[in-house]
């Protein structure tokens, strides 16, 4: 029985190491995912700004067109001045020129407002682009580091799995599956040491008769409280 317990203890050590490696990998994957999500968020903001910028630029260019048309209109009306015959006509034309100039000033104000909005958005967009470049660099560098770590841990995993297989080969299937069931249900501890009659898996005291049987070492003992497979350190 000692021999089987020793195999199980070795197996547990390897399994615990494998669990640690998997946990560590998951942590790295989550870290990379977080960086990717942050990058995606900034990218989305930059895309939105870019769309807004385009719309503003389009509006601004429409106002520029209007301004040109208004300038033409002013010139056209002013061109009529030399041909004017009557005072009444003269007043009417001057009024028309005045209105056209007012409209032109209004359009210029609108253009100035758009230009201001465009330059503000542009600054915001440039800032996002800078951030995006920085986070992309950071993310690429971290990815390269993590890939190296993964390659190394993959090697370790392979070696440990080989060890695991060779240990498992020498254990009866029923015992192996019992061990695996407890290992996954009991937080990666299926084989527990007993010290002074207490199971160190759950810290509960074993019945004295069972403790005696465990000391005799003739049959496999499970903790009556946590079901873990028990061993005592041989003096
Ligand atoms: Zn126990």
Q: How confident is the model at residue 89 (pLDDT cuts 50, 70, 90)?
A: very high
Question: How far is ligand 1, taken at its centre, from the CA of residue 205, in Å?
Answer: 8
Would you say 67 and 100 are in contact if contact means Cβ atoms under 8 Å apart? no
Q: How far is the CA of 164 from the centre of ligand 1 (A)?
A: 24
What spacing in Å lies between the alpha carbon of 223 and ligand 1's midpoint? Answer: 5
Domains annotated for the chain, with CATH where assigned, are 2-171 (1.10.287.1490), 178-231 (no CATH)
146 vs 233 pLDDT, higher one: 146
Residue 59 · residue 111 · CB < 8 Å:
no
Mean pLDDT of 209-231: 94
Looking at the predicted structure, is the pLDDT value of residue 25 above 90?
yes
Which is nearest to 101 in space by CA: 125, 85, 78, 123? 78
Strand partners, 194: 199
The reported pLDDT for the residue numbered 43 is 97
Distance in angstroms (rounded) separating the CA atoms of residues 215 and 233: 10
C-alpha 231 – ligand 1 centre gap (Å): 11
Can you tell me whether residue 186 is helix, strand or coil? coil
Q: How far is the CA of 14 from the centre of ligand 1 (A)?
A: 21
pLDDT of res. 1: 73
Question: How many A from CA of 110 to the centre of ligand 1?
Answer: 80
**Model pLDDT, residue 2:** 82
Look at residue 234 in the predicted model and tell me its pLDDT: 73
Q: What is the mean pLDDT of residues 20-42?
A: 95
User: In whole angstroms, what is the distance from residue 47 CA to residue 41 CA?
Assistant: 10
3-class DSSP state of 171: coil
pLDDT, tens digit (0-9, with 9 covering 90-100), for 191-202? 999 999 999 999
Q: Which residues contact 93 (CB under 8 A, 6 or more apart)?
A: 77, 80, 81, 84
Backbone dihedral angles phi then psi of residue 84, each to the nearest 5 degrees:
-70, 140
CA atoms within 13 A on the CB side of 58: 6
- Determine the distance separating the centroid of ligand 1 and the alpha carbon of 169, expressed in angstroms: 26
pLDDT at 201: 97
pLDDT above 70 (res 235): no
């Amino acid at each position: 029985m000692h021999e089987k317990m020793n195999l199980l203890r070795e197996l547990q050590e390897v399994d615990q190491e494998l669990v640690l490696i998997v946990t560590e990998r998951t942590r790295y994957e989550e870290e990379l995912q977080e960086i990717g999500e942050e990058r995606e968020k900034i990218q989305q903001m930059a895309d939105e700004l870019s769309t807004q910028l385009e719309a503003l630029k389009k509006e601004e260019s429409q106002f520029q067109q209007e301004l040109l048309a208004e300038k033409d209109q002013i010139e056209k009306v002013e061109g009529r001045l030399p041909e004017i015959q009557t005072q009444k006509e003269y007043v009417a034309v001057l009024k028309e020129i005045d209105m056209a100039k007012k409209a032109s000033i209004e359009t210029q104000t609108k253009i100035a407002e758009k230009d201001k909005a465009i330059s503000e958005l542009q600054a915001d967009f440039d800032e996002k682009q800078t951030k995006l470049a920085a986070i992309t660099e950071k993310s690429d560098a971290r990815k390269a580091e993590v890939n190296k770590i993964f390659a190394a841990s993959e090697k370790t995993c392979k070696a440990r799995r080989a060890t695991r297989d060779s240990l498992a080969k020498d254990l009866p299937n029923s015992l192996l599956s019992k061990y695996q069931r407890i290992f996954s249900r009991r937080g990666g501890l299926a084989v527990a040491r007993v010290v002074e009659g207490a199971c160190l898996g759950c810290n509960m005291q074993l019945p004295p008769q069972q403790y005696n049987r465990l000391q005799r070492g003739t049959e496999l003992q499970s903790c009556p409280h946590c079901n873990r497979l028990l061993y005592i350190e041989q003096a």
